[in-house]
Structure 1
Amino acid sequence: MALARSANWPNKAVSPPKETSARIAEVAASCEEQSAQTAEVMRAAQNIAAITQETSASTEETSIAVVDLAKMAENLNQLVTKF
């Protein structure tokens, strides 16, 4: 009985070539999928960075406009108080 089991040992220890090829193909497909997903995440991160820059620029412009508007309001207030 032990001799029969040891005779089958090499067949169980090494996967058949077709099975090995199939597993290699699965790994390759998974790598391609992961690469595509990584590229998608990178594009999303770049979009977020661009939107952040746009928001920052808009905020700065709004801040300048608020300061200018406050100066105009002060000038108008001074003109109105003369009458």
Structure 2
Amino acid sequence: MTRTVSLLSNIRTISPCSVGLPNGVCTIAIQCGDVRLTPVLLLTNVLYVPSLTCNLISISQLLHCNDCIAMFTNSTCFLQDL
């Protein structure tokens, strides 16, 4: 999910849908699109939620869309393609 519409490409208007946030608050997504994180990492169907205060990334979606795995340490996330 992003609060920055300029990050999105292939923007599509969607029916407003409720999105639950980790703090328990519900908000509304109004568009979706794709976000290119690096030249080889693409996230598709990223929700545009104007009321967010930061961008949130789904590691599960990132791994699924890019056929890779994630490894975490106490301070770092490593992504490795399969």
Structure ID, larger Rg: 1
The answer, yes or no, to whether TM exceeds 0.5 is no
TM-score by structure 1 length?
0.15
TM-score by structure 2 length?
0.15
Structure ranking higher on relative contact order (CA contacts 8 Å, 6+ apart) = 2
Which structure has the highest helix share of the two? 1
